[in-house]
Amino acid sequence: MPSLDLPDLPYSYDALDPYMSAETLEYHHDKHHMAYVVNGNKALEELEHMGDTLDEVVVNAFKAQNHGLYNNAAQHWNHKHFWNWMKAGGGGNKLPGALEAKIKEDIGDFATFRGQFIEAGLTQFGSGWCWLAMDNETGKLEIMKTANADNPLRHGKTALLGCDVWEHSYYIDYRNARPKYLEAFVDNLVNWDYVAELYDHAQLKAAA
Which chain residues interact with Mn ion by CB under 5 A?
164, 166
Q: Which is nearer to Mn ion, 117 or 170 (CB)?
A: 170
Cis peptide before 10 (omega within 30 of 0): no
The distance of closest approach from Cβ of residue 9 to Mn ion in the complex, given in angstroms and rounded to an integer, is 13
The distance of closest approach from Cβ of residue 4 to Mn ion in the complex, given in angstroms and rounded to an integer, is 15
Helix (H) or strand (E) holding 158: strand 157-164
The distance of closest approach from Cβ of residue 127 to Mn ion in the complex, given in angstroms and rounded to an integer, is 9
Strand arrangement of the beta sheet that strand 128-135 belongs to: 141-147, 128-135, 157-164
Q: Cβ of 101: how many Cβ atoms within 10 Å?
A: 11
The distance of closest approach from Cβ of residue 32 to Mn ion in the complex, given in angstroms and rounded to an integer, is 5
Helix, strand, coil in percent for the chain, rounding step 5: 55, 10, 35
Q: Which is nearer to Mn ion, 76 or 87 (CB)?
A: 76
Q: Which is nearer to Mn ion, 62 or 166 (CB)?
A: 166
For 13-57, give the DSSP string: TTTTTTTS-HHHHIIIIIIIIHHHHHHHHHHHHTSS---SSHHHH
d(CA 77, CA 153): 10
d(CA 11, CA 124): 28
Q: Which is nearer to Mn ion, 121 or 141 (CB)?
A: 121
The distance of closest approach from Cβ of residue 163 to Mn ion in the complex, given in angstroms and rounded to an integer, is 10
Q: Which is nearer to Mn ion, 127 or 136 (CB)?
A: 127
Q: Which is nearer to Mn ion, 13 or 110 (CB)?
A: 13
Helix (H) or strand (E) holding 178: helix 178-184
The distance of closest approach from Cβ of residue 67 to Mn ion in the complex, given in angstroms and rounded to an integer, is 18
